[in-house]
Amino acid sequence: MKLGKPATDDDGRTTVRVTARNTADGKKSFAVQVDFLDGDGNLLDTVLVTVRDVAAGASGEATARSTHPLSGSVQVRVATALRY
């Protein structure tokens, strides 16, 4: 799992690109929990995104978007990822 650089959309919500690489032999999907943190590492928000139907050996992308506007310096991390 790889996360891009956080950005702010037109609604003031924080977004980040999620990239999932499929190393399996067949098509897989991914559920990814992304945490949004403040500069001190405190949890501000958490969202779940799905990267669907990624071909074997390929990468797929989705965008995680905070549920409300976040202020200050926002960091992101993958809290949990599941391939299915």
- Could you read off the pLDDT of 1-19 as tens digits, one per residue? 999 999 999 999 999 999 9
Q: Buried (b) or exposed (e) across 23-55, using 16+ Cβ within 10 A?
A: eeeeebebebebbbbeeeeeebbbbebebeebe
Phi, psi of 66 (to 5 degrees): -60, 155
Write down the pTM of the prediction.
0.93
The one-letter amino acid code at 77 reads R
User: What single DSSP character describes residue 9?
Assistant: -
- Per-residue pLDDT, 79: 98
- Per-residue pLDDT, 34: 98
Q: Which two tokens stand for residue 45?
A: 């928000």
- Per-residue pLDDT, 51: 98
List of the chain residues with pLDDT < 50:
none
Count each helix (H run) and each strand (E run) in the chain, helices first. Answer: 0, 7
